[in-house]
Amino acid sequence: MTNVKISNRHVDVYYGDNHAIKDVSIDILDKTVTAFIGPSGCGKSTFLRCLNRMNDTISSCRITGDILMDGEDIYAKSVDPVQLRARVGMVFQKPNPFPKSIYDNVAYGPKIHGLVDNKTDLDEVVELSLKRAAIWKEVKDRLNESGTSLSGGQQQRLCIARAIATAPEVLLMDEPASALDPIATAQIEELIDELRHQYSVVIVTHSMQQAARVSQKTAFFHMGDMVEYGDTTEIFTNPVDQRTQDYITGRFG
């Protein structure tokens, strides 16, 4: 039996007057991969950013409703977003490596949180994270080069390595394979599957096949509404809503 990791009730998000998320209620399960699918601009990224309070950094953004993680309201006054984000990691839609060395990019989180206390352990964490993000082979001889000197797809994997190096309980991935070739994509999907045994993973993707391959649960968003949420196999074989059916069969985008 899997438990609810993050419970969302009647969540509304506004950017100024723009009502970007409309009354969304959804339970994200522990030890499960949940896929968010839906047309561009429907609010997938926006909703994802609610789960680690990254929307706090946008001054025009307003959120109402309840989001509980392990039963605790993450928007409560007593909750420090800094501590929350250490538990809920995120990979952004656009790769954003720091202008530091590849090594320092990955070591950044573990250093800040004091996860390791000596250089050898840190080296190990960095190596393991880069290996799991399927980029170790490409960068192992150039760990001192700048992270920004990598290609787009390499940067994307570096950011994944950076996110998993802090060992979060929940990992939010916003289109983590959008710039990857089929081989790297397969490796990232393998990583996601492996992470599922310990963590809860939420992935935004525009690839139906990817959603079908890696996720157990799928939520379909459309113009700020969460139209349908259920087992991935159900959503893809037996959608209830006409809009879901149209989207997964490619009748609108």
Partner 1 sequence: MTFLTALSIVALAVLFYNFSRIRAISAANGVQANLHSRPSYHGLYSFLWVFLVGVTALIIGSILTPHPMVLFGVVAGLSAAVGIWTTRGITAETRARNKAERIVTGILWACAGVAVLTTIGIILSLVFETYNFFESLGWRVDKFLFGTRWSPLSGLQDGVMDPDRVGILPLMVGTLMITAIAMIIAAPIGLLAAIYLSEFASQRVRGWVKPMLEVLAGIPTVVYGFFAAITVAPLLRETGDLFGLKIASESALAAGIVIGIMIIPSISSLADDVINSVPQSLRDGSLALGATKAETIRQVVIPAALPGIFSAMLLGVSRAIGETMIVVMAAGQGANLTANPFEAVTTITVQIVMLITGDTDASTAAGPAFSLAFTLFCVTLVLNIVAMRVVRKYREAYD
Ligand X SMILES: Nc1ncnc2c1ncn2[C@@H]1O[C@H](COP(=O)(O)OP(=O)(O)OP(=O)(O)O)[C@@H](O)[C@H]1O
Contacting residues toward partner 1, per CB under 8 A: 52, 54, 57, 59, 82-87, 89-90, 92, 94, 96-101, 108-109, 112-113, 146, 148, 159, 162-163, 166
Please identify, using beta-carbon distances, which residue of 42 and 171 lies nearer to ligand X.
42
Please identify, using beta-carbon distances, which residue of 200 and 218 lies nearer to partner 1.
200
Segment lying near Mg ion (by CB under 5 A), choices 22-30, 61-69, 87-95, 180-188? 87-95
Q: With contact defined as beta carbons under 8 Å apart, do 176 and 153 qualify?
A: no
The binder of 90, among Mg ion, partner 1, ligand X, none, by C-beta within 5 to 8 A per type, is partner 1
* Candidate residues 5, 6, 11, 20; the one interacting with ligand X per rule CB under 6 A: 20
Please report how close the Cβ of residue 147 comes to partner 1 at its closest, in angstroms. 10
Please identify, using beta-carbon distances, which residue of 38 and 109 lies nearer to ligand X.
38
Q: Print the SS3 string covering the chain.
A: CCCEEEEEEEEEEEECCEEEEEEEEEEEECCCEEEEECCCCCCHHHHHHHCCCHHHHCCCEEEEEEEEECCEECCCCCCCHHHHHHHEEEECCCCCCCCCEHHHHHHHHHHHCCCCCCHHHHHHHHHHHHHHCCCHHHHCCCCCCEHHHCCHHHHHHHHHHHHHCCCCCEEEEECCCCCCCHHHHHHHHHHHHHHCCCCEEEEECCCHHHHHHHCCEEEEEECCEEEEEEEHHHHHHCCCCHHHHHHHCCCCC
57 binds ligand X (CB under 6 A): no
Please identify, using beta-carbon distances, which residue of 14 and 136 lies nearer to Mg ion.
14
Please report how close the Cβ of residue 241 comes to partner 1 at its closest, in angstroms. 32
Please report how close the Cβ of residue 57 comes to partner 1 at its closest, in angstroms. 6
The binder of 78, among partner 1, ligand X, Mg ion, none, by C-beta within 5 to 8 A per type, is none
Q: What number of other Cβ atoms are within 10 A of residue 11's Cβ?
A: 21
* Candidate residues 32, 34, 45, 155; the one interacting with Mg ion per rule CB under 5 A: 45
| Cβ contacts of 226 within 8 Å, gap of 6 or more | 24, 25, 26, 47, 219, 220
45 binds ligand X (CB under 6 A): yes
Please report how close the Cβ of residue 152 comes to partner 1 at its closest, in angstroms. 14
44 binds ligand X (CB under 6 A): yes
Interaction site with ligand X (CB under 6 A): 15, 18, 20, 38, 40-46, 58, 60, 93
